[in-house]
Amino acid sequence: MTYNSPYTKDDFLRDDRGPHIWCPQCGIRPSIQCFAGALAQTGIDRDKIVVVSGIGCAGRIAGYMYCDSFHATHGRAIPFATGVKLANPDLTVVVFSGDGDLFAIGGNHFIHATRRNIDISVFCINNGVYGMTGGQSAPTTHMGAWTATSPYGNCEPPFNLPHLAESCGAVYVARWTPAYTDELTQSMREAIQTRGFSFVEIVTPCPTNYVRYNPTVNTGSKEHTRIDHSADVHSLQYSCEAQLVVGTFVRRQRPVFEVQQNNRTQT
């Protein structure tokens, strides 16, 4: 598919920041290649795009994007982005961060921004652990997995992130892995272009601090995944053994926060 855009993917990557900090085999780097491609495909004026990240390995993404970007405190990327979007609705605002940042310390902000239908996109690198601090268990760690802080096996069930996003009211919900380069790029583009709160989960277990100790973890390769756009979001809970379902599960419309607010204050 061709796109009418003045930009290429490389226009969105800072060329003066190499080498990047991520490990070999980490899924973040290919994911931001997809992200840069998606931004280019939208054709949106680069000066009107803001990328916000929290803390952690994925929290570093904002710093590598060539556009306005902000590296916020741990878990607070979404409320920061909410302030940006409401203060200047002409900006396209994307939060790109990790599972611990968005769903442990930042979980409350996620559910409320989704409920309000703030017109931002949230992309989540779900690597299953706290990677940067050395592989501690996260709200996305599989049951039974060994991590630095679950040495007897993780005893907590992980979040089903697409289900969480859907139940809070997200208007676009997808899950991919970096193995699906084209699909992930297209999904990010759709999410950015969707009016309202959109969410894309990118499942890519940490090679250094998770898969190394849990070799049976599903790393999201194409042979261990299956595309099912019509999958019921309730069924998307994943375990080490099961095949991972990917796809775009939710597309719907709901009035965004600013419209709801303006309709009431202008009457």
Question: Interface with another protein by CB under 8 A: which residues?
Answer: 14, 16-17, 46-48, 50, 52, 60, 62-63, 66-73, 75-76, 78-88, 90-91, 108-109, 112, 257, 261, 265-266
Q: Which is nearer to another protein, 86 or 240 (CB)?
A: 86
Q: Which is nearer to another protein, 55 or 211 (CB)?
A: 55
Q: Which is nearer to another protein, 2 or 266 (CB)?
A: 266
The nearest distance, CB 215 to another protein, in angstroms, is: 33
Task: Give the C-alpha separation, 36 to 48, whole Å.
Answer: 15
Buried b (16+ CB within 10 A) or exposed e, 206-222: bbbbbbebbeebbbbee
Nearest Cα neighbor of 39 from 201, 190, 170, 253 is 190
Q: Which is nearer to another protein, 22 or 180 (CB)?
A: 22
3-state secondary structure of 166: helix
CA 247 to chain centre: 14
Pairing between strand 136-137 and 129-130? Answer: antiparallel
The nearest distance, CB 232 to another protein, in angstroms, is: 28
The nearest distance, CB 195 to another protein, in angstroms, is: 18
Question: H-helix or E-strand containing 68?
Answer: strand 68-71
The nearest distance, CB 210 to another protein, in angstroms, is: 24
The nearest distance, CB 115 to another protein, in angstroms, is: 9
Q: Which residues contact 102 (CB under 8 A, 6 or more apart)?
A: 54, 75, 77, 78, 95, 110, 122, 124
Q: Which is nearer to another protein, 240 or 259 (CB)?
A: 259
